[in-house]
Structure 1
Amino acid sequence: MRTVDIDEAKANLSRLIDAAVQGESFIIAKAGRPVVRITPIVAPDEHFKQRLGFLAGTIRAPEDFDRIGLEEIVSLFDGQA
């Protein structure tokens, strides 16, 4: 990964951004010390985006889901295990 001094980054920001968009990450250094890493933002393909509710209607929870194991949990908290 290429390291660029902050003064060079200021002078060539547009060119560096274009390179980052093409996939070239780089580091900006101040006084020889790395400060930030510039990387392109890669958006997922439309085909692979996750969507909420994609399993709606395919999975059912039992009616007593919120009460399953209730007696055991209560006994553990009451110290009667």
Structure 2
Amino acid sequence: MSAKSGEPLSSAAQELLQLEENYSVGGFAPTPGFLVSGKGSTLIDVDGKESIDFVIMFSATNIGHGHPKLIEAVVETMRKTTLINMSTHYAE
């Protein structure tokens, strides 16, 4: 069985791939990413490079990084208790 080769990429496809490489977080290959902050859909690494976070932890932060209402809810909960594990439930 021989391997199939695809057609050469169009200039539009090449441009889109370059945009993805330049601006998408991806899998941090070949080295890990060292992030220092995030706001909305943007992540910022230690070198100040901004990337759009398309993964957003697969929806765990679908309201974006640093959303004020989420921060307020987490801080309020942390004032009441530091840790609730899987065998217990938070009543509020």
Normalising by the smaller structure, the TM-score range is under 0.3
Which structure is larger by alpha-carbon Rg, 1 or 2?
Answer: 1
Instruction: Output the TM-score relative to the length of structure 1.
Output: 0.24
Instruction: Output the TM-score relative to the length of structure 2.
Output: 0.23
Structure (1 or 2) with the greater strand fraction: 1
